[in-house]
Structures are given as C-alpha cells and as structure tokens.
Structure 1
Amino acid sequence: MPTAFRARKVLFVRERTDRKDLMTTLGAVFRPQLPPERLRDVAQAADKAGLEQLWLWEDCFLESGIASAAAALAWTERLHIGVGLLPVPLRNVALTAMEAATLHRLFPDRVLLGIGHGVQSWMAQVGAQAESPMTLLREHLTALRALLRSERVTTDGRYVKLDDVALDWPPATAPAVFSGAVGPRSLRLSGEAADGTILVAGTPPEKVRRARELIDEGRAAGGRTDHHEVVAYLHAATGPDGAARLAAELERWGDASISDIGAAGNADAVAEAVLRLANAGADTVILQPTADEPDPEGFVRFVAEKVRPLVP
C-alpha cells in the first residue's frame, strides 16, 4: 500500500472514532442492462471472491428485483443480495410483504430490500403514477414494516388499504426495510419511517453528510433511536479505458459537472473515493459499474479482492 494512501486511511479511521463501528461494508451492482442469464456467473464470482453484497435493480422495463434476488440467493452460499429498489406504485403492499417474508425465511440474514417512489415517468407509462408519491411511500413503509413485524394490520389510507391482514409465514425476526431517497422531504421520511436509506450514485460526500443530517431530523421527529443504515452508490470503472467509460457514464446520467461522485483507475483510486463517502456518513458503499462494463465478473472480483483490503 503506498505511503500516502496509508496515511489518508489512518486519518479516515481517526475521523470516524465517534462512530459506533468503523467497518464499512462494500458491495457492487449487477446492472440490469445485462441480460438475466448473466446473473448466475456474476453472483457466483462475487460469492467465491468474498464480496459482501451484490445489489440488483427493479428498473422498468428490465428485470424483476424479487425474481432475480431469489435466483442469486439460491446460486450462492454467503453473499448478501440487495434490491435497491422496488417501486411501490407497481406493488400492493401485501404482495411486497409476502415476497419479502418468503425471501427472508428461505435465506435468513442474506436479504436486503429497499422500496421507493419509482421513476415517475415510468410509473405514468404503466398507469400507476400516484398524485402524492410521498403519501404512498409513507403508507407503504408503515404497513410493510408492521406486516414484517408479524402484526395484523387494518388501515384505510389514501393508497394503502388493508382489512385485517397478517402474514401466515412472517420472518423469524423483523428485517430492516430500506427506502430510496433523494430530496429533503424523502430523506426525512426515510429517517422517520424506514430502517435504512439508499442514496443514488451521483451523491457526493458533502451531500451524503447533508443526507445524514436530514435523516436524523426524521429520526428525531419519529422518536427513532435504533440504528439507521445509509447505503451510498458510487460510480466506478477500472481498466485502461476506465476514465473514458466513467466520463461517458456521468454524461449519460447528466452528472458530468458534479465532482467527486465516481472513481476510475486502480484499487487505490477507488478505495479513496469509497473512504470519502464513508467518512461523510455512508455505512455501506456499493460500487456501480458503467452500463457498458466489459467484464462484470472481473469487476466484482476487483471490488472484493483489490478494493476491500484497502477499506477499513
């Protein structure tokens, strides 16, 4: 490890001494731009390499988050599988709870599920756009977490309506429910009503720090004192053409003018970017490859074998 990077790593640990745990969880994304049949090889490569988490997306109109997660969990032994996120306008909350409970019972302690507003233009395409996405997300979070706590739920909300509903096969222990959030209102809602927050790639360290503050405001408003996990995605590209691919990716996302939201190059460069997000308040950093990543299996091995040893 280069001396300069080692010094920055030590400084990072010192700056985080007020945190309850110094361990930063590391993971990667399986992009749904890859066909579903590629998932098995990528998941098994991640599992064999010792990667902690592999995250999937339920983007319209690409791949199912739940079906993909079930397959990836069945193909692997220890890898944690996350879905970030399930768009609630597409889903009845009872179905979400049933699917979540089934996965958690089949694969205890290996499932991470997040829900969110969804992309509003996509929701409009399928006739599911809500007039008040915030109200829908709050109602869905409240009912989903109650069902997963083995509660019997009756509610007559604006969007979520349940009449004496309880799961016959709830998880043995109530799992964390994550919420995707971007704006201040969504971040406060996530702190109040969810167990963790997912931040999109393109969130620089200063905005991660501000997101933490807004989440904590929501937690205080809701009287929450439990742990709240913050998951941050980070654009990443490796290899001789990594910088060019990353630049093109940021251009596609409309983020080319934002600094410090991606990393290209070797493991040291990527690890430094991870540490900046972690120092800003991210508990988990998920490396997001470019949509045209030429070697997805190699990418997850790179994260597990090269970057992981450089991150506390």
Structure 2
Amino acid sequence: MMTTLGCALLPTFSPRQYLSIARAADDAALAEICLWEDCFSESGIAAAGAVLASTTDLRVQLGVLPVPLRNVALTAMEIATLEGMFPGRLEPGIGHGVQSWMAQVGVRAASPLTLLREYATALRALLAGERLTVSGRYVSLDDVALDWPPLTAPPVISAATGPKTLRLVGEVADGIALDGGNGLTKLRTAVDTVRAAYDDAGRTDPFKVVISVPTATGPGAAERVQAWLPNWDLPSDAPEEYCVWGDSAEEIADGLRKFADLGADTVNVQPLESEPDPVALVGFLGREVRPLLV
C-alpha cells in the first residue's frame, strides 16, 4: 500500500513556476513536493523556504543538497531554521552531487563515500541537538552545537545509485531517494541493498524509500514519454519500466502502484519537461489519483 503521493519538481522548471505549482499541490491535498538543488539552477534551501511560506500543509522533500558544496554546520543551521518555522514540514536530503559539477566549482572529493559518511553522521547528530567535536577526513567540528536545534529532528534522507552508496545510506541515513532514471528493476535492487545494510547495522529506527516516477497524462502522453527517455539515456523499448502514462486516474494509479508494491514508501510524480500544464497535473493527482491509492 502506498503511504505517500507527492510531486517531484525538477529544476528544468523555472523558479517563476514553483509557487503556483506548490500552491496547486497544497490545495489538492498532495502530501509533499520534492525540490531539487542542481548546479547551476535553483537553490534548494531558498526554494524550500519560499514554498513552505506559501503553503499550509504541503511537506517539502529537499532532494538533494550536494554535500561537497556545503559546510555541514551551515546545512544544519539552515535545516533547523526552516524546521523551527515550519515544524514537521521539511524532509532534507543530501547526496554526493554530480561529480563533474563538483569539479567545476573546485570541491570534488577524492572519496565521495567517506565524505557522505562523515557528513550524514554529523548532520543527523547536530539536528538531534548534540554537541560535536570531530576531526574527519572532510568534516571537522570543534565543540559545535546548534543554539536552536529542532524540537523533533527531521529525517535526513540521501540519494544513491551505486551499490556502495546504497549500502552506506542503509547504515547512516534515514531513507533513500531515487530519481526518475531508476525504474522498477533498479528500485527492487536498491530496496534489497539498503534494507540488507540497515539490518546488518542492527538498526530498528524508521527508514523510508522515496522514488520519483516520470508521469504524463492527457493528449500525446505516450509520445511525450517516448521523447523524454533519451534525455535521461534510457532505453525506449520498455517505457513502462521507468514511466507512467494514461488518460485516466485509474491508469495512473495502477502504474504508480507498481512502484509502491516494490517497497517505495513515497512515490513522487515527476512531470516531464514537456508537461504543458503542471498546475493542472498536480491538481489531477491530488483530487483524482490520490484517493485511489489509499
């Protein structure tokens, strides 16, 4: 059973579109909106703050903040500030960042796995109100604690694709975020890998699986899906592996349910870059598709 239906808003959409789409999602009772921080598009923290201030119930899943770009203390401060203003409505995400982009700005790490491990561990501890002194390869903190830690620390999820990062996320994060290029087969593998690492670490705390699913409906939906696949270097002979499309709420719900059945706790519909009316799409998802998935 699907627990959450949301919308993933890629940075291919202009910042000018963000608030109208977010308000429509909020009005339609979608649970969350996933915002991206990509180089060199929108800032995730800035966008999250604006969306939270412009909506009432919508949760913002912030995915993902590239850890080489951000000092962990600053990230903790930003998250704690938003959490203090909008309790329970922010779900931050972190990740390696695209390595070529990290190289462009001079922050590419020699060992992304080591950086992510140190960063995730420190970030979760700071958000939990701990005072830290650590001296790692990448993360160094000397008697650092937040003055205003969250009353309840938000879960910190992490992006991952490769098996080593998937296992690391199962050890040190509160969940896994998978983008729209993963599909059903990779979702199944990712769930098995992170759950095994979670179990091996002896964990019993909550852990969630989030995936974005490219989705189209209305006239030309199938054609728009086929045109989208090459943009992500995905094969065109099995679009149902990655995407959902159809003319009815039932068709969309049936397609999304396949991802939930493989272990996704949250499925965020990802409008295609060619989506002619994203405001109408999120309204349709909330009012017509969501009731079919509870």
TM-score by length of 1: 0.90
Match of 1:173 among 152, 155, 159: 152
Corresponding position of 2:243: 262
Residue matched to 2:180? 201
**Displaced runs of 4+ in structure 1, greater than 3 A?**
none
Aligned residue among 290, 297, 305 for 2:279: 297
Identity rate of aligned residues, in percent?
Answer: 53
* Displacement after TM superposition at 1:227 (Å): 1.6
User: Is 1:110–2:89 an aligned residue pair?
Assistant: yes
Residue number in structure 1 paired with 2:68: 89
**Any idea what SS the aligned residue of 1:173 has?**
coil
Match of 1:309 in 2: 291
How much has 1:295 moved relative to structure 2? 0.7
Distance 1:23 1:278, change over 3 A: closer
Q: How does 1:69-218 map to 2 (within 5 A)?
A: 69-218=48-197
More moved, 201-210 vs 274-283: 201-210
- What amino acid maps onto 1:24 in structure 2? T
SS at the partner of 1:59? coil
CA distance in 2, matches of 1:206, 1:290: 21
How big is the shift at 1:222? 2.1
1:54-73 correspondence to structure 2 within 5 Å: 54-73=33-52
Higher mean alpha-carbon deviation, 195-204 vs 130-139, is at: 195-204
For residues 19-76 of structure 1, the C-alpha deviation after alignment (integer angstroms, 9 at most, x for no partner) is xxx4420001222222212211111111111111111100110100000000000000
Between the two proteins, the alignment pairs up a number of residues equal to 291
Show the counterpart of 1:48.
27
Q: Which runs of 5+ in 1 are unaligned?
A: 1-21
Amino acid at match of 1:128: V
Task: Name the amino acid aligned to 2:230.
Answer: E
Deviation at 1:210, TM superposition (A): 1.9
Distance 2:213 2:13 in 1: 19
Pairwise CA RMSD: 1.2
CA distance in 1, matches of 2:261, 2:9: 25
Give, in angstroms, the shift of residue 207 of structure 1. Answer: 2.4
Does the CA-based 8 Å contact 1:135-1:158 persist in structure 2?
yes
| Alignment check: 8 A CA contact 1:182 1:200 kept | no
TM-score (norm 2): 0.96
**2:258 equivalent in structure 1:** 276
The match for 1:10 is: none
- 8 A Cα contact 1:263 1:270, kept in partner: yes
Distance 2:131 2:257 in 1: 42
Q: Matched residues in 1 for 2:112 and 2:226: separation?
A: 32
